Amino acid sequence: MSDASRWMIALAFISLPTIAYGGQFLLSILKRQKGTEKITAIQRDYFRAGHAHAGVLVILSIIGQLVLDFSLFNETLVWAMRIGLFVAPLLISGGFFGGAPTTADGKPGALVKLIPIGAVVMSVSTLGVGLSLLISI
């Protein structure tokens, strides 16, 4: 494992307790515990989506960091993909959590705009990881 992978994977693992806390929060909502009575069904759905995306995408990010050790691309492109793999889960899950509607009309919050940005970053990064194993630049 390269030092770059080691550092990026360490950061990903350090972020995992926030996902665990999100899971505990989501579970309290699903159990309708005290203090969660005002959370609407659509907010619950946003929180559920944010939690699920965070967990899956962080695992994908960790795998991608290891795969990038075998990349044929130059270091600059590899680092761009490493950072993209790390940032995309934050953008996507942050968009779901921060974009959960807080008004009675059910319109999502402004942070919902982070979801498509994160999706583009993740798509470019994962496509780059795959191509980096095949193409030498």
Q: Is the dihedral of CA 66, 69, 71, 77 positive or negative?
A: positive
Tell whether 66 is covered by a domain: yes
pLDDT band at 94 (very low <50, low <70, confident <90, very high): confident
Number of domains in the chain: 1
Reported as a single tens digit per residue, the pLDDT across 17-40 is 888 777 777 767 666 666 666 777
Tell whether 34 is covered by a domain: yes
Give the structural domain span for 106. 3-132
Tell whether 46 is covered by a domain: yes
Q: Which of 69-78, 102-111, 125-134 has the lowest mean pLDDT?
A: 102-111
What is the C-alpha separation between 94 and 92, in angstroms, rounded? 5
Reported as a single tens digit per residue, the pLDDT across 56-70 is 999 999 999 999 999
What's CA 17's distance to the chain center, in Å? 13
Task: Write the CATH number for 91.
Answer: 1.20.120
Tell whether 137 is covered by a domain: no
**pTM of the full structure:** 0.83
Tell whether 61 is covered by a domain: yes
